[in-house]
Structure 1
Amino acid sequence: MTQATQIMGITFPKRTLDETIQEISEVVGQNRSELCHVVTGNPEIVMACQHDKELRTIVEEAGLVTADGIGIVMVSKVRGGSLPERVTGCDLLFKLLEGNADSMQKWTFYLLGADEETSKKAVEVITQKYPNVTIVGRHHGYFKPEEDQAIVDEIGSLAPDFLIVALGAPRAERWIYKYKHELNARVAIGVGGSLDVVAGKVKRAPKMWQKLHMEWLYRLLKQPSRWRRQLILPRFALKAVFYKK
């Protein structure tokens, strides 16, 4: 049985990035009929779950929840849960692409999100860099609610192994949950702004910043407009450390 810890009532399995990739790979190989929804649980999602019942239900019913952010990992250590490392949506996406590069089996992906130019560029980059990966379809993220069903129908007809949803949290989580019985994909993952990184529109923090767990600061320095969003981090830390069941 997989060990887990709870952060403000949200259960996080104690898995490394590699262990998470292994589990997701097994899900694809098992050819299950139901979609596995992977939620990358960051502090914003955990905080929102405290008052948003619908979002909490989505997270609780997910096939897998990962620790998306060093804040989640640090709080777990303070509270004695000790999650091994963060497992972000961006890391998952790149690991899945890289892991299939030398595989005999070609995984198929559908990309949903980002603007039209970024979406196209992401497909070009993936096709060139990961020849064993097949992008069966894509759609930008600037669509209206009345366009949902057409997109869902297209994804359903293509039946990708992985549905990569870059609509931002928690919109991605809500969208996947709403249509999970129609998408006909093996695994669906909300990956935030990862397609911007894939396409080269946004540069990810250098490895040294990541190792020092300062990627959040790097992003803030590059995008000062994020400061309001970053205010949730100290609030999360205080509430999570002193959270009582």
Structure 2
Amino acid sequence: MNNVAKIMGIPFPKITMDQTLQELSKVIEKDKSELFHVVTGNPEIVMSCQHDQSLRSIIDEAGLVTADGIGIVMVSRLKGGNLPERVTGCDLLIKLLEAGNQQKWSFYFLGADDATSKKAAEVISQTYPNVSILGRHHGFFKQEEDARIVEEIQSLAPDFLIVALGAPYAERWIHKYRLYLNAKIAIGVGGSLDVIAGKVKRAPEIWQKLHAEWLYRLIKQPSRWRRQLILPRFALSALFFKEH
């Protein structure tokens, strides 16, 4: 398929942020009961899929996989896939809130610590007053609390379920309860609520434009270096991977 770029076997549609928003708007407008799962595919998820078959099947079943990170985009271009731009979880969430403010969409937020979750909800309410926040729950819950949280989301029936539990846990959680959540779209957004709440500072725009956000984060949080090691490993593995 010419409209898809494969990275280590994972298909990434060649769509921009604006096209992604258009696709998700169409899903909201439909009266479909089936949950539409959006995976923001970063290098960690792609690498994990190489040895984790259960995660791979979750990604294969997703409604949409977006290019979360410049590493995905750069590798696709070097291999002739030519993904147009990155569509990160954080950027996508902001765009959805902007669109939701016009369309009066409803959201449920799951993840982050309780203070961050509360602060993020306050910021969103002030910035996007027409967005309906139907509910929220922090991300530090035990497995035995899952049923109660799923029940709450099911009864509220949000347009968007935003899950900030970190990858790939968010993807597994969404997939596990996909038949019961009663949301139209569910998205794993990593630490985006931390950014919205102001707990974590986003890289300045110039760093983003230079595609060096990862370097900014590393300078600000040197403890991330172990996590960042996956980036060169991913680049080498993906470049030499024989796509079928």
- The reply to whether TM is greater than 0.5 is yes
Q: Which amino acid aligns with 1:73?
A: V
Other structure's SS at 2:186 match? strand
Partners of 1:241 and 1:2 in 2: CA distance = 19
Partners of 1:241 and 1:204 in 2: CA distance = 29
1:73-88 alignment runs, 5 A limit = 73-88=73-88
Q: Identify the residue that residue 170 of structure 1 maps to in structure 2.
A: 168
Q: What runs of 5+ residues in structure 1 fail to find an aligned partner?
A: none
Q: Identify the residue that residue 201 of structure 1 maps to in structure 2.
A: 199
Other structure's SS at 2:129 match? coil
Q: Which amino acid aligns with 1:217?
A: L
1:1-245 alignment runs, 5 A limit = 3-101=3-101, 103=102, 105-245=103-243
Partners of 1:208 and 1:19 in 2: CA distance = 24
Render the CA deviation track for 1:32-62: whole Å, top value 9, x for unaligned.
1100000000000000000000000000000
- Contact 1:114 / 1:142 at 8 angstroms: preserved in 2? yes
- Contact 1:169 / 1:192 at 8 angstroms: preserved in 2? yes
Other structure's SS at 2:54 match? helix
Partners of 1:226 and 1:238 in 2: CA distance = 20
The change in CA–CA distance for 1:160 and 1:2 in structure 2 (over 3 A counts) is: farther
Shift of 1:132: 0.9
Partners of 1:110 and 1:170 in 2: CA distance = 19
Percent sequence identity over matched residues?
Answer: 74
Shift of 1:201: 0.5
Other structure's SS at 2:199 match? coil
Other structure's SS at 1:100 match? helix
TM-score (ref. length: structure 2)? 0.98
Other structure's SS at 2:110 match? strand
Shift of 1:68: 0.3
TM-score (ref. length: structure 1)? 0.98
Q: Which amino acid aligns with 1:140?
A: H
Shift of 1:243: 0.3
Shift of 1:99: 1.7
Count of residue pairs brought into register by the alignment: 243
Other structure's SS at 1:12 match? strand
